[in-house]
């Protein structure tokens, strides 16, 4: 079930909220939590019920494993073995469903064999709920978890607003909210803020992202079919996908936070105007924030982080980004995309060590433009189905195929408007400061409550939200999946 579907907007979400509201005043808060777990599992089953046992097994296994790790206070060796074994089982499950096809296809291509294998469908959200629970296991090993009850843990993993594509929530950020009586109850402010940010996210997805896709898809499909794309076509396709992905993921993040807020649950910030970044390091502090923090805390730092030599630091950066790329998808395009970002980070680190800080306005603008162009180029690998089609687009971007087309006035106007929104418009958390996360390690969003355009619970904002919601619903002509659903 998609957030941008009639069934979710008009049936599932209001029904879940109405029943939750009816249960919220019960003395036992576990009743309302139990309902949210049931609703979340139904939401997951809507896609393909056959994969529900995988999610349930993952929840049950990791809860027991985490409980055992937190209880073991003395036998260090046994505790390490328990952690290694638990993580291995999670990775084997993820590897079987997500990477087995990729492994056999790579062997066939490299060795020239013809190993026959049956294509395995990827269970929805397996990457997200696997990483989320690996973090829980590691924290249990470190003694950083409390003895949560099983119902709270189930909701921590399966809560439908964040189940499919994040944010990758930390147990310490959300589970205490489930057990706190005030947090689990609905307030008028939560309803107003939740509807506002959900509507903004829906508008971004169906109006901005899906429209940008109509420019990007034909060009990448042409490259995949063996056609040549010229200089303007390739840059148009790359820029269109850059904007599509931006508004698609930004829209999803808003809708996830908004839907969760309707139930009184606060999810962490996951997207913070990444194309305004002035460096690639800044970009990864703003793009998929919770994934970046997971890679930092549970991969980069355990590898040694920046505690070793400078060369070791560069190796750790590249390894982390290579694995981050592979997490996104089982394909060499994702591996190279991650490696390219690893190289970007190394180059930025070398620049910082060589060039003293420059604070002039022209340097800031130049740095922002260079970072944006580097990200645009990397998205070609991210979007392309295979290396051959990625090569076609990249060759077109450097002029190998010449210039044969002229962009239309319509496309120029549309792209100019979207770029203006990306670079100059306030983002969702700046519009609605109370959405800003107060969770640990989350970026601080500076805002001025006196700005006239910031959200307030008044008639003007009610009219604005109702308008964009009606327009967005009218644009739902086809239920297009969010891009991050494939990961």
Which residue in 170, 171, 328, 341 is the catalytic one?
328
Model confidence at 36, pLDDT cuts 50, 70, 90, reads very high
| Same domain, yes or no: 426 and 286 | yes
- Average pLDDT rounded to a whole number, residues 67-74: 85
- Please identify, among 134, 163, 187, the residue that sits at the C-terminal boundary of a domain: 187
Burial environment of residue 200 by CB neighbours within 10 A (0 to 12, 13 to 18, 19 or more): buried
pLDDT at 176 (0 to 100): 87
| Same domain, yes or no: 429 and 374 | yes
The answer to which of 80-84, 125-129, 336-340, 436-440 has the lowest mean pLDDT is 436-440
C-alpha 468/C-alpha 463 separation (Å) is: 9
Domain assignment of residue 147, yes or no: yes
- Average pLDDT rounded to a whole number, residues 47-56: 92
Burial environment of residue 475 by CB neighbours within 10 A (0 to 12, 13 to 18, 19 or more): middle
| Same domain, yes or no: 179 and 200 | no
Chain segment 193-223, per-residue pLDDT in tens: 999 999 999 999 999 999 999 999 999 999 9
CA dihedral 256, 248, 270, 120 (to 10 degrees): 80
| Same domain, yes or no: 229 and 143 | no
Domain assignment of residue 1, yes or no: no
Q: Does the pLDDT at position 437 exceed 60?
A: no
Alpha-helix runs per DSSP H in 263-331: 280-286, 289-295, 310-328
Where in the sequence is the domain holding 336, given as residue range(s)?
189-486
Domain assignment of residue 131, yes or no: yes
Burial environment of residue 46 by CB neighbours within 10 A (0 to 12, 13 to 18, 19 or more): middle
- Please identify, among 150, 172, 187, the residue that sits at the C-terminal boundary of a domain: 187
Domain assignment of residue 123, yes or no: yes
- Helix (H/G/I), strand (E/B), else coil: 317: helix
The answer to which of 185-189, 213-217, 353-357 has the lowest mean pLDDT is 185-189
Domain assignment of residue 361, yes or no: yes
| Same domain, yes or no: 59 and 195 | no
Looking up tokens 């990007």, which residue turns up? 216
Q: Does the pLDDT at position 164 exceed 60?
A: yes
User: Cβ–Cβ contacts within 10 Å for residue 195, how many?
Assistant: 18
Looking up tokens 């009743």, which residue turns up? 31
How many structural domains does the chain have?
2
Chain segment 283-316, per-residue pLDDT in tens: 999 999 999 999 999 999 999 988 888 999 999 9
pLDDT at 401 (0 to 100): 85
pLDDT at 47 (0 to 100): 82
- Average pLDDT rounded to a whole number, residues 433-441: 61
User: Cβ–Cβ contacts within 10 Å for residue 406, how many?
Assistant: 8
DSSP secondary structure letters along 362-429: HHHHHHHHHHHHHHHHHHHHHH-SSHHHHHHHHHHHTTTT-------HHHHHHHHHHHHHHHHS--HH
Model confidence at 10, pLDDT cuts 50, 70, 90, reads very high
- C-alpha neighbours within 13 Å on the C-beta side of residue 292: 21
Q: Does the pLDDT at position 185 exceed 70?
A: no
The answer to which of 61-70, 177-186, 221-230 has the lowest mean pLDDT is 177-186
Specify whether the CB–CB gap between 465 and 195 falls below 8 A.
yes
Chain segment 370-429, per-residue pLDDT in tens: 999 999 999 999 999 999 999 999 999 998 888 888 888 888 999 999 999 999 999 998
DSSP state of 269: P
| Same domain, yes or no: 407 and 259 | yes
Cis peptide before 46 (omega within 30 of 0): no
Q: Which residues of 322-335 are buried (b: 16+ CB within 10 A; e: fewer)?
A: bbbbbbbbbbbbbb
Q: Which two tokens stand for residue 12?
A: 């599932």
| Same domain, yes or no: 306 and 449 | yes
Q: Does the pLDDT at position 431 exceed 70?
A: yes
| Same domain, yes or no: 284 and 345 | yes
pLDDT at 191 (0 to 100): 92
| Same domain, yes or no: 282 and 326 | yes
% the chain with pLDDT above 90: 66
Model confidence at 227, pLDDT cuts 50, 70, 90, reads confident
C-alpha 291/C-alpha 324 separation (Å) is: 9
Q: Which two tokens stand for residue 419?
A: 């770029």
pLDDT at 224 (0 to 100): 94
Higher pLDDT, 440 or 44: 44
pLDDT at 444 (0 to 100): 52
C-alpha 241/C-alpha 38 separation (Å) is: 36
Among 139, 134, 369, 337, CA closest to 245: 337
pLDDT at 445 (0 to 100): 53
**Most confidently modeled range among 180-184, 359-363, 423-427:** 423-427
pLDDT at 313 (0 to 100): 93
Chain segment 439-482, per-residue pLDDT in tens: 555 555 545 555 778 888 889 999 999 999 999 999 987 768 88
| Same domain, yes or no: 339 and 393 | yes
The answer to which of 115-119, 347-351, 457-461, 469-473 has the lowest mean pLDDT is 115-119
- Judge whether 447 counts as a catalytic residue: no
pLDDT at 404 (0 to 100): 81
Model confidence at 116, pLDDT cuts 50, 70, 90, reads confident
| Same domain, yes or no: 73 and 161 | yes
DSSP state of 208: I
pLDDT at 333 (0 to 100): 96
- Please identify, among 161, 187, 213, the residue that sits at the C-terminal boundary of a domain: 187
| Same domain, yes or no: 285 and 413 | yes
Q: Which two tokens stand for residue 246?
A: 């931006």
pLDDT at 188 (0 to 100): 86
pLDDT at 95 (0 to 100): 93
Q: Does the pLDDT at position 117 exceed 70?
A: yes
pTM: 0.92
The whole-chain average pLDDT of the chain stands at 90
pLDDT at 161 (0 to 100): 94
């Amino acid at each position: 079930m998609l957030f941008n579907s009639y069934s979710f907007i008009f049936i599932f979400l209001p029904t879940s909220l109405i029943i939750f509201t009816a249960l919220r005043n019960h003395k036992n808060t576990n009743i309302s939590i139990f309902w949210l777990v049931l609703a979340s599992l139904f939401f997951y089953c809507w896609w393909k019920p056959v994969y529900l046992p995988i999610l349930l097994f993952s929840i049950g296994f990791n809860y027991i494993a985490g409980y055992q790790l937190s209880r073991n206070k003395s036998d260090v060796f046994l505790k390490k073995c328990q952690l290694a074994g638990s993580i291995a089982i999670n990775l084997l499950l993820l590897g079987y469903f997500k990477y087995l096809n990729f492994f056999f296809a790579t062997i066939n291509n490299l060795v020239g064999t013809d190993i026959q294998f049956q294509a395995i469908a990827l269970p929805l959200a397996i990457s997200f709920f696997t990483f989320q629970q690996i973090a829980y296991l590691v924290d249990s090993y470190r003694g950083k978890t409390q003895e949560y009850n099983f119902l709270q843990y189930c909701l921590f993993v399966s809560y439908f607003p964040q189940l499919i594509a994040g944010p990758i929530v930390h147990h310490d950020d959300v589970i205490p909210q489930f057990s706190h009586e005030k947090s689990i109850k609905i307030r008028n402010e939560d309803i107003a803020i939740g509807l506002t940010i959900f509507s903004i996210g829906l508008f971004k997805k169906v109006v901005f992202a899906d429209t940008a896709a109509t420019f990007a898809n034909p060009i990448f499909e042409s490259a995949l079919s063996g056609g040549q794309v010229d200089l303007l076509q390739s840059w148009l396709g790359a820029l269109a996908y850059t904007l599509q992905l931006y508004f698609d993921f930004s829209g999803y993040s808003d809708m996830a936070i908004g839907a969760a807020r309707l139930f009184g649950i606060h999810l962490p910030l996951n997207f913070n105007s990444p194309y305004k970044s002035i460096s690639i390091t800044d970009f990864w502090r703003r793009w998929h924030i919770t994934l970046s923090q997971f890679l930092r805390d549970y991969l980069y730092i355990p590898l040694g982080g920046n505690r070793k030599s400078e060369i070791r630091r560069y190796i750790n950066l590249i390894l982390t980004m290579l694995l981050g790329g592979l997490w996104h998808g089982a394909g060499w395009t994702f591996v190279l995309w991650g490696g390219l970002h690893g190289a970007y980070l190394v180059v930025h680190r070398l620049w910082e060590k060589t060039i003293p800080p420059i604070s002039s306005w022209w340097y800031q603008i130049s740095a922002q433009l260079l970072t944006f162009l580097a990200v645009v180029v990397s998205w070609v690998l991210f979007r392309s189905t295979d290396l051959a089609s990625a090569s076609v687009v990249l060759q077109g971007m450097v002029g190998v195929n010449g210039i044969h087309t002229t962009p239309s006035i319509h496309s120029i106007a549309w792209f100019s408007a979207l770029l203006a929104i990306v670079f100059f418009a306030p983002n969702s958390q700046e519009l609605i400061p109370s959405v800003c996360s107060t969770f640990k390690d989350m970026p601080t969003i500076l805002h001025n409550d006196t700005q006239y355009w910031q959200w307030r619970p008044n008639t003007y904002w009610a009219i604005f939200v109702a308008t964009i919601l009606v327009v967005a619903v009218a644009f739902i002509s086809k239920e297009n999946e969010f891009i991050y659903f494939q990961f």
